[in-house]
Amino acid sequence: MSNMKQNEKSTPPIIFFDGICNLCSGVVMFVLKNEPKHQFQFAALQSPFAQSVLAKYTLPTTHFNSFILLQNNKVYTKSTAALKVAAALKFPFNLLTVGWIIPTFIRDSIYQYIAANRYRWFGKKTACFLPDKKWENRFIT
């Protein structure tokens, strides 16, 4: 995994995800396989790099109830982050962006319900998700 210092102004968008969550790791794998431009980098929320970014943007550093997208020095969370990522996926997955028509408070309520139950429904790992060797250069630690 890359351990380099990141300059947020010149880096590609970064998806921060709960590294022990099976659902979250599955979403990361899905994005890796279905994002044709390979623009996203990834960091587990538990990683030192993610912890420093979370602190910089005054986001929670212990209770991870959302994956976070950092793009162009702006932070997106919950359903907004998910829809922005969906827009970068190949067809037909990019059609998920139809979700923009749903008001944010409804989208985020659904997102929060899934996030609150993700460990119970999908389980969790005892250690952070590690990518396949072919993708490790897309992960920041």
- Model confidence pLDDT, tens digit, residues 47-90: 999 999 989 988 878 777 778 999 998 999 999 999 999 999 99
Read off the pTM. Answer: 0.86
Q: Which of 71, 65, 62, 19 is nearest to 41 (CA)?
A: 71
- The mean-pLDDT minimum among 2-6, 49-53, 93-97 falls in 2-6
Tell me the angle at which helices 22-34 and 104-122 cross, rounded to the nearest 10 degrees. Answer: 110
CA 11 to chain centre: 15
Span 108-118, pLDDT tens digits = 999 999 999 99
